[in-house]
Amino acid sequence: MTRLFDTLSIKSMNLKNRLVLPPMRCGKAGSNGEVTDDLIQHYLNLSDGPGLVIIEHTYIADGGRSQGQLGISHDQHISGLSKLTNAIHSKGVPTVLQINHVGSMAVSKVIGAQPVGPSAIVNPRNADKEMPKAMTKTEIEEVVQAFVQASIRAVKAGFDGVEVHCAHGYLNSEYMSPLANIRQDEYGGSPENRIRLATESVKAIRKVVDKDYPVFCRFGARDCLPSGLELPESSVMAGLLVNAGVDVLDVSGGMGGIEPLGEKPQGFFVPEAEALRKATGATVIGVGGIIDPNFADEAISKGRVDLIAIGRGMLKDPTWCKNALATLAIKS
C-alpha cells in the first residue's frame, strides 16, 4: 500500500514524498517579472517538507502577462530563475515552473496592446472589462513558440520540469471552455479542437526537452460555471494531452477562479483527479482545501491520486507538510 510519505519517480525527477506545494502567485516578483530576494525567501520558507515545489504562474510572452507576475519571456529572466532553483535545490527538493499566457485577462494598460483570446468575448476576470481580439492563426503559432522558448529557458534555469497552465480562465483554459471559445476553425467546436492550442504546445515542448524531462499540465477539469466545461469533455481533452506528452495532470478547475462555487468539501478537486487518473492512466495531483493529513494519506493509500497538493494550508503554516509526515510516520 502506498502512503503519503512514500517516494515517487516521475521520469528524471525523484520525489521524497507525495506532497506538493501547488503553484501560488506570491506577488513578490519585480516590475519586469524578475526574481527578487523576497520571492526566493518566500519559496525557501515553503520548501521544507513537500516532495515537490511548483512555482507560480510565470508569463511566457509580454502580451500575456498581468501586473506583478513572474516572467520567463526573455533570456534576461534566466539568471534570477537560476538563483531560485539553486535555493530550492539546496533543500533537496525538485522544482517545476508553471508557464502561462493569461490571455484575455491581460489589461492593455499593462501589456500596451489589446488583450487576445480565442474569441471576442469579454473575460469576466479582466479588471477593465476590455474586449479581447480573437487570435489569428499566426498569433496562435506565436503562443506555441512562446511556450517552447519558455521551456528552453526553464531547462537552462535548472527547473526539473515545466507545467503548462490550462486552468483558471487563462488562455489555454479559455480555448477549452465553451463559454469563451466560439471559433469556427480547427481551434473551436469539438473537444479535440478546443484543446489543440495546448496539445500543439505540449508536442512542441516535447521536441525541445529531453525525453526524460517531466512535462506537467495544470488542468481545469471543470469550469464550475453554468454551461461551462464539464468532465465528459475535459476527460477527452486530458487523454489528448497525455498522448501529446503530458506526464502529470495537476487537476484543478474554475474558469472564474480556483475553486468550485458553493460548497467546498475537503479535497474538492480530488474526485476529478481520480476520474482523470482512471481515464488517462497519467500520474495525477489532487488538490482542494486539504487540511487533514489523514485525508491526504487516505487519498494516496486508496489509489485515488498519486500526489496531494497543499496550498493555503502551507501558506498558513509552512511546517504543515513536515508535521503531517512526522505524525503519520509515528502512527504507522
Ligand X SMILES: Cc1cc2nc3c(=O)[nH]c(=O)nc-3n(C[C@H](O)[C@H](O)[C@H](O)COP(=O)(O)O)c2cc1C
Interacting residues toward ligand X by CB under 6 A: 22-25, 56-57, 98, 165, 167-168, 218, 252, 258, 287-290, 310-313
Query: CA torsion, points 59, 65, 68, 73, in degrees to nearest 10?
Result: 40
Q: Count the alpha carbons within 13 Å of 146 in the hemisphere toward its beta carbon.
A: 26
Q: How far is the CB of 27 from ligand X (least distance, A)?
A: 8
Compute the least distance from the CB of residue 52 to ligand X, in Å.
13
Cβ at position 99, least distance to ligand X in Å: 11
* Least distance to ligand X, CB of residue 192, Å: 24
Rounded Cα gap, residues 55 and 32, in angstroms: 17
Judged by beta carbon, residue 133 or residue 312, the one nearer ligand X is 312
The distance of closest approach from Cβ of residue 107 to ligand X in the complex, given in angstroms and rounded to an integer, is 17
CA atoms within 13 A on the CB side of 168: 19
Of 256, 273, 257, the residue nearest 309 (C-alpha): 273
For ligand X, the closer CB: 12 or 266:
266
Residue closer to ligand X by CB (options 134, 272) is 272
Query: Contact at 8 Å (CB) between 242 and 281?
Result: yes
For ligand X, which is the closer residue by CB, 245 or 254? 254
Number of residue whose CB is nearest ligand X: 311
Give catalytic residue positions: 170
CA 49 to chain centre: 20
Least Cα distance to 39 among 24, 22, 27, 51 occurs for 27
Enclosing H/E stretch for 249: strand 248-252
**Nearer residue to ligand X within complex by CB, 134 or 273:** 273
Cα separation, 305 vs 284, whole angstroms: 6
C-alpha cell at 283: 500520474
Q: How far apart are CA 263 and CA 260, in angstroms?
A: 7
